[in-house]
Chain A
Amino acid sequence: MNKFLKKYRVLLIILLIIAALTPVAYYAAERLNFGETWGEWSAEEVKMITGKTSTGMKDLEGMQKIAPLPDYSIPGHSIYGGAAWYFLSAVAGALILILVFLAAGRIIGKGANSEKG
């Protein structure tokens, strides 16, 4: 594993730099008030756009309440707190993904014979 991390250390450093810039992306989005992405509004917002309630949408959208950090943040924070959560989310997500695939490589990988999938 050490050898692997050493071999790809430049990529990991670039990844860290990109993660470090995520608060800037968050700050810009909040300050410039980008608004929600097309097609990703809540049922309430859709009602404001179309004037009608999509009843099925209202029923299903509650599924998303199980996520602990909706939109990579904790609801009801200041803009700086939000940016910090955004950065922590980036780091945590990246770390989880790297660990999941490292473990997968250990379990199902075909050793040094590094064929691709």
Chain B
Amino acid sequence: MHIPDGYLGPKTFIPLWTASIALWILSFKKIRKKAGTEALALTGIFAAFSFVVQMFNIPLPGGTTAHIIGAGATAIVLGPYLSYIAISVVLVLQAILFADGGITAIGANAFNMGFLFAFISWGIFSLFKNLSERWKIIGAFLAGYAGICASAIATAIELGIQPILETSDAGNPLYSPFPLKIAIPAMMVPHILVIGIIEGIFTVLVVKYFKKNFPELLK
């Protein structure tokens, strides 16, 4: 899901960089106001988990691969702002050291895989928060599932609008050449059918582990 350099034109990556900087400042202020030393340190462990699980690329029908991210589990345990910051730091590291995701696309990738994922997961889980244990588990699954699907659809739309937004004088696409009708199914089918389910299960396992061992964090 990491958009590389060259797939998004400046009409897309500049607004998304700008939005991400604004959202980073807002999150940083929120975190600075109340996050404890231990919550921040634990965020590092979640960031490390996210980084490592992303290295497991799962082969999928249609010749593509995809991976889980873990932003939903992080948002449920640590809150959406810390989750968004954790994923953003992971993405910066991946872009700079490992060429996984573009540097011009850091804003877009942080918005898709971090911001949307963390806040959608957190929002969904909060609907289930005061229900029975069984519903909470269902809520955790749906949070992970819907979160990664939201990231995938945003990525697909950003890629798919490139041939409309950015063309050469001759009318050829300057950046990603695949239209929405290719980009959306190519991104969504793997995430709806396979990766969303794995992400949902991962989210449930993390929530169950914290419920059992550190219930104070899930209050």
Contacts and interface: CB of A to CB of B under 8 A. Distances in A.
Contacts of B55: 22, 25-26, 72, 86, 89-90
By secondary structure, the B interface counts as helix
Interface of A: 1, 4, 8, 10-12, 15, 18-19, 21-22, 25-26, 29, 32, 34-35, 37-40, 43, 46, 50, 52, 54-72, 86, 89-90, 93-102, 104-106, 108-117
B41 A54 contact: no
B6 A61 contact: yes
B98 A113 contact: no
22 contacts: A4-B41, A15-B48, A22-B56, A55-B172, A56-B166, A57-B174, A60-B6, A63-B104, A97-B86, A101-B42, A101-B43, A101-B45, A104-B40, A104-B43, A105-B38, A109-B39, A110-B34, A112-B38, A115-B34, A116-B34, A116-B78, A116-B82
A109 to B, nearest CB: 3
Identify whether the interface residues of A are mostly helix, strand, loop, or mixed: helix
A54 B175 contact: yes
A100 B105 CA distance: 22
A25 B59 contact: no
Interface in B163-179: 166, 168, 172-178
A39 B176 contact: yes
Contacts of B155: 39
B114 interface: no
Interface string B1-23: 11111110100000000000000
